[in-house]
Amino acid sequence: MNTPEISRASIGARRSPETEAAVLTATAELIREVGYAALTIEAVAKRARAGKATIYRWWPSKAHLLLSLYSASKQEVARPNTGSLRGDLIEYVGAMLARWRGDDGATATAPLLRLLIAEAQMDAGVQAALVDERTRRWHHIDRIVLQARQRGELNPALTPRRAEQKIIALLWYLLLNDQLPGPADTPALVDDILAGMLV
């Protein structure tokens, strides 16, 4: 006799942690097996044993699933406080690049982020979600720049926001062109970023 398949359910207005974990695991497995282009919400729901309505309630599109997968894969990075902007950026940028590359056997997140950036160009909802994720979770650069400003290191002609954009721009350029440098190249990369930023 066949045992009926158990369907995971959401818990009201909150995501069930069990269901969320099952959905993200299923998404990651299917992307590895069939690729992002062939990924479907139906396949994710079947593998995760979750209702399609539950998935669509919390993840309106494949790209939103991808964003949650990327967010879940990021390990918390300690707030650097080396006493200098260069030192802080070497620590921070090095940790971020290691996550993107998938160092130490971890899953590389660079491919996920590249897919997200591409989807955001065509879907305003995905773009808004990506910006929100950056705002809520990536406070390290803001803090690093403000610490540098308080220490008097930052060029007064450069606003903190412009300094943050300058840091992110080169990193995303390398990400999008699949040219991520290795660990030994981080100090030189940071020196390139800092050109014109310091007093």
Percent of the chain at pLDDT above 90? 73
Contacts 24+ apart (CB under 8 A), 24-27: 24/65, 24/68, 24/69, 24/72, 27/65, 27/66, 27/69
**Domains of the chain, CATH where assigned:** 17-59 (1.10.10.60), 77-194 (1.10.357.10)
Out of 75-79, 81-85, 122-126, least confident range: 75-79
Region of residue 30 (phi > 0: left; psi between -120 and 50: alpha; otherwise: beta):
alpha
Give pTM, 2 decimals: 0.81
Q: Decide if pLDDT at 138 tops 70.
A: no
> For residue 70, which phi and psi values (nearest 5 degrees)?
-65, -45
Distance in angstroms (rounded) separating the CA atoms of residues 4 and 180 = 48
